[in-house]
Structure 1
Amino acid sequence: MILYERQEGVPQFRCEAYQEKKTKYCVLIPVINEGERILRELKRAVHYRVSYAADIILCDGGSTDGSTCADVLRNLGVNSLLVKQDSGKQGAQLRMGIWWALRRGYEGIITIDGNNKDSIEDIPRFIECLEDGYDFVQGSRFLKGGHAINTPPLRLLSVRLLHAPIISLTAGRWFTDTTNAYRAYSRKYLEHDQVQPLRDIFITYELLAYLSVRAVQLGMKVCEIPVTRRYPKEGKTPTKISFVRGNWELMKILFLNLFGQYNP
């Protein structure tokens, strides 16, 4: 285990590397107390041999539910576990993962939620796009070949009528599924001097909104590909965004992004 001290733009975190770097690309999965959801997702990754295409890295925000037990993760093909020891939420977890992945020498990064909603078996499609020279690849359940299954009606309306139009206006290019964290970034994009994702202003969902638009603004190569996002038929919707406060904060982020407040 290695402890990395806090530095500018990167929170303090510890790393448990179960394997050496094995592939050209990695998958960053931010998690916090996802319980059986992340375990089911990793079991699907084993079934589809995802770890043969990309190293799987968990970016843990400090889980206490036992779902990140080292023996379990090793058996499920996880390459490394990063555990944040600092403040911040999803944005801090992603900054931790991005810094570590670039330092380890990966040529591109795929991100996916850890709540078992997304088609992790589609990882090779993202890699194909990175290999073809794309710098930002957005997964979309709304493209032909994609699937939006059991999407809560209010969530569907907010994506289609608010989030996607505002992100698309900011980027100057139409995107269909902008709340979807299932996407890929090239090393070239993340290291561009006019991007600079490793900044402490990215605490919650700011980094996802910002990286959705910055590639287009800089004239980089972008695309969308079809994926599946499946919500459970019954029970609580797996999300970390609260209905009132969370959505208000998200709207504020969208408008700050629209007016360039996150640009370096």
Structure 2
Amino acid sequence: MTITTATPHDVPASRTDVLAPKRTKYCVVVFVINEGEKVRAQLARMAPLADQIDIVIADGGSTDGSLDLAYLRENRVRALLTKTGAGKLSAQMRVAFAWALDEGYEGVVVIDGNGKDGVDAIPDFIALLDAGYDHIQGSRFIAGGKAVNTPLVRLVSVRLLHAPAISVAARTRHTDTTNGFRAYSRRLLADDEVAVFRDVFVTYELHYHLALESSRLERFRTIETPVSRTYPAHGKVPTKISPLKGNAHVLKVLFNAVTGRYRYQQETQK
């Protein structure tokens, strides 16, 4: 006899500040940690979209005062989710996805809060969710997309290493696999075989896992949509990835993802 355990539901501890009632069937989650004026300027650009999609912040534990609740209300943010447990980006994603599913959202658009992404593309993600797509990848490198001032090392690593590796493993062409501007359907996020609520997802694992599994499993529909991503023409590149240790970790996560290390294997007992 084989007994299959229930799908894990590991969600980091968090605090929730609800600032407005649910208004739409999708939400856009902005991932933030100490982005200062960059995230404030981005939220001001996003505020006019609040009639089309609920705006949610998933904070990794900012200490810079940028996420003042009064400011968030003024800019039509529906909720602030603050991760208080362990983990980085993928832990924030698990907090946000669990909350979004509990709130009854039919899909989630995700975007970084560092001001690099063109928020005018959000309605395109909404339209593709409405069309029944499960994994929608924003891409700078397809027709209509714009890559502005992309650092050369980033450009080379995405085009010649990261995207080809994901594409081979997924058996589907992916062109911009490090871009965090994406959307996911409820069907994908709630799928027991995809199993997003596991504590193996801590840093960048979940983005890669969802791209691979949505392509590998034939029941899901995937597509890319053009977006713009703009880096500053001068000064420090806005990123949380350190040049040596950070990039080495990204490569390790990429290797683990394409070799199936994050694929959910249900425990069995005979």
TM-score range, shorter chain: over 0.9
- 2:224 is paired with a residue of what secondary structure? strand
CA distance in 1, matches of 2:196, 2:52: 25
Residue 84 of structure 1 pairs with residue 116 of structure 2: no
Cα distance, 1:258 vs structure 2 = 1.2
Q: 1:26: which partner in 2?
A: 27
One-letter amino acid of the structure 1 residue matched with residue 14 of structure 2: F
**1:236 offset after TM fit, Å?**
1.0
Identity of aligned residues (%): 49
Name the CA distance, whole Å, in 2 between partners of 1:165 and 1:152: 19
Paired residues for 1:89-100 under 5 Å: 89-100=88-99
Q: State the Cα distance separating 1:233 from its structure 2 match.
A: 1.0
Q: Which residue does the alignment assign to 2:215?
A: 216
Q: Which amino acid aligns with 1:96?
A: V
Q: How many residues align?
A: 256
Q: Which has the larger radius of gyration?
A: 2
Give the match's secondary structure for 2:112.
coil
The answer for unaligned runs of 5 or more in structure 1 is: 1-6
Task: Give the corresponding residue for 1:4.
Answer: none
One-letter amino acid of the counterpart of residue 36, structure 2: G
Q: CA RMSD in A?
A: 0.9
Is residue 229 of structure 1 aligned with residue 224 of structure 2? no
Match of 2:5 in 1: none
Residue in structure 1 matched with residue 62 of structure 2 by the alignment: 63
Structure 1 residues 170-218: Cα deviation after superposition (integer angstroms, max 9, x where no partner): 1111111000010000001111121010110000000011111110100
SS of structure 1 residue aligned to 2:184? strand
Instruction: List gaps (5 residues or longer) in structure 2.
Output: 1-7, 265-270
Mapping 1:185-204, distance limit 5 Å: 185-204=184-203
**Map of 2:3 onto structure 1:** none
Q: Which amino acid in the other structure matches residue 230 of structure 1?
A: T
Q: Deviations over 1:214-255 (max 9, x none)?
A: 101001110000000000111111111111111111111111
Output the TM-score relative to the length of structure 1: 0.95
Counterparts of 1:1-264 in structure 2, within 5 Å, are 8-46=9-47, 49-219=48-218, 220-264=220-264
The amino acid of 2:137's aligned partner reads Q
Separation in 2, partners of 1:184, 1:174: 17
CA distance in 2, matches of 1:249, 1:116: 24
Q: CA deviation at 1:30?
A: 1.0
Larger relative contact order (Cα-Cα within 8 Å, sequence gap ≥ 6): 2
CA distance in 1, matches of 2:155, 2:23: 38
1:52 Cα offset (Å): 1.2
Deviation for aligned residue 1:108: 0.1
Q: Which TM-score applies when normalising by structure 2?
A: 0.93
Show the counterpart of 1:3.
none
